[in-house]
Amino acid sequence: MIDGSKVNSPSFRVLSEEQCERIHRATLKVLETVGVKVELPEGREILRKAGATVEGEIVKIPKGLVEEALKKAPSSFTVWDRLGNEALELGGRRSHFGGCASCPQILDPRTGERRPCTRADVAEFARMNDYLPNMEFIMLLGQVRDVPSLIATQVEFKETVSNTVKPILMCCNEMDVFEDVYEMLVAISGGADALAERPFLIVYTEPITPLVHGYGLEVALRSVERGLPVVNTPMPMGGATAPVTYAGIITLGTAESVSGIVMQQLVKPGAPSVFGGIPSAMDMLTTIYSYGTPELPLLCSALTDMSHYYDLPMFGTAGVSDSKFLDAQAGMEYGISALASVMCGSNLIHDTGFLDHSEVLSFEGHLLMDELAGYIRQFMKGVEVSDETLALDIIGRVGPGGTFVAEEHTFRHFRELHRTKHLDRSRYQLAQMEGMKPLDQVLREKACEILESHRPAPLAAGVQSRLDQMEKKWWAR
């Protein structure tokens, strides 16, 4: 965790309090007058019973209903790891980074080749993420290509949970897929109640911009009932699925995220709902959804301001680049998005280690993000000003022209300075003697080394064999 709530932590905001209020009023107006399309009949019924107007699939949600529901959602909550330890404290200005174990393509860490993502890659990525000290959760998208798509998410979850103890964030829109994963979760936790008490899975649900809640909503509602936290994160794409202007993008994203949270709070008041959104703009030359553009960190930060305005945890995005390689462009886009997301106080920050606007997963990119998270952790310490840190007595003792390196004060405090694991701060002459390598190569070698050596805490043998039995059942269908 990087705690940005300390007095000295550098912080920033994009939206003023007045701007937040205006966007909130605009959001209420959208929900009340335009409404949202809710494809799942159950979702429409929940809202209708609470006082919303239903016209076909369009639901218009009155202002009072939205504001009441938002008050019920908790401002912070804990997510646990597979072993039952506290892992994530979501809320306030505490930031947690996590990688994503599946993507349509990966850069093979051993060969450097770009190829479709397999279940073995998911297992390896989970294992590496388990090892990394600054990576605190892992996400799944259901994108592996070497198993049938109907069981991709189940297989990814199984491979991941077998290879890491860290909390898992899962993208899932199908109820039968969710039930398979839930069966595994219950087996691991030792019962539905134990799971609800210490959930180590967060469910990701994505309203479809503009203003549509698809059938995936059912997974979110069942998750809430069973005590699993739910992330509500639309992807408004400025100039394509959303207005091209920043305030319009933020308003649309807020309306989508908030309307999801309203339904969850109606189903179970006080349920852990996470506000979110991945707002960006369509690149007007290539039509890609750009992750590298400055609009992404700017608008993510603005949405984070809205999350603070609502006092809800925020799902953030950083460490993803439009570049095809882990190069200068990737470093720039990773660095700025990661620093912005922490400085604005985003909580659950995902997508680290992605390249090619989220098409490709890079092991070395993910290692760079771990290094970057450590760098930002240092930056967020800010400057402590006290008698001890002002060090006036030492300045006096050493005096003009002296040196501080051998002072006891230096000895006592030098470990507070940042130390890098992989960044190059060497002297050229020595580096030349030892053989110089660019950072991406250093990180690739390190990734392979971690994969060779790190062994995460395994599942209990009985549980592992039950999961294997469950997998046989999926394949037999």
240 part of the interface to another protein, by CB under 8 A: yes
Of 126-134, 252-260, 283-291, 454-462: span binding another protein (CB under 8 A) = 283-291
- Dist. CA 436–CA 448, nearest whole Å: 19
Minimal CA–CA distance to 76: which of 350, 343, 308? Answer: 308
Detail the DSSP E strand segments found in 228-310: 230-232, 237-238, 273-276, 280-281
Residues 350-409 touching another protein, rule: CB under 8 A, are: 359
- Dist. CA 267–CA 282, nearest whole Å: 35
Task: Please identify, using beta-carbon distances, which residue of 133 and 148 lies nearer to another protein.
Answer: 148
284 part of the interface to another protein, by CB under 8 A: yes
Residues 406-465 touching another protein, rule: CB under 8 A, are: none
108 part of the interface to another protein, by CB under 8 A: no
How many chain residues bind another protein (CB under 8 A)? Answer: 19
Residues 210-229 touching another protein, rule: CB under 8 A, are: 214
208 part of the interface to another protein, by CB under 8 A: yes
145 part of the interface to another protein, by CB under 8 A: yes
Q: Which of 5, 287, 389, 432 binds another protein (CB under 8 A)?
A: 287
155 part of the interface to another protein, by CB under 8 A: no
DSSP 68-90: HHHHHS-SEEEEE-TTS-EEEEE
The nearest distance, CB 107 to another protein, in angstroms, is: 16
The nearest distance, CB 190 to another protein, in angstroms, is: 33
Q: Which of 134, 154, 223, 241 binds another protein (CB under 8 A)?
A: 241
| C-alpha distance from residue 178 to each of 101, 322, 337, 447 (Å) | 18, 31, 31, 31
Minimal CA–CA distance to 381: which of 328, 343, 350? Answer: 343
Burial call 371-399: b when 16+ CB within 10 Å, e when fewer: bbbbbbbeebeeeeeeeeeebeeeeeebe
Q: Which of 8, 75, 85, 286 binds another protein (CB under 8 A)?
A: 286
DSSP 261-280: HHHHHHHSTT--EEEE---E
**294: part of which helix (H) or strand (E)?**
none
Task: Please identify, using beta-carbon distances, which residue of 152 and 195 lies nearer to another protein.
Answer: 152
The nearest distance, CB 200 to another protein, in angstroms, is: 26
Which residues of this protein are in contact with another protein, per CB under 8 A? 104, 142-143, 145, 149, 152, 208, 214, 237, 239-241, 244, 282, 284-287, 359
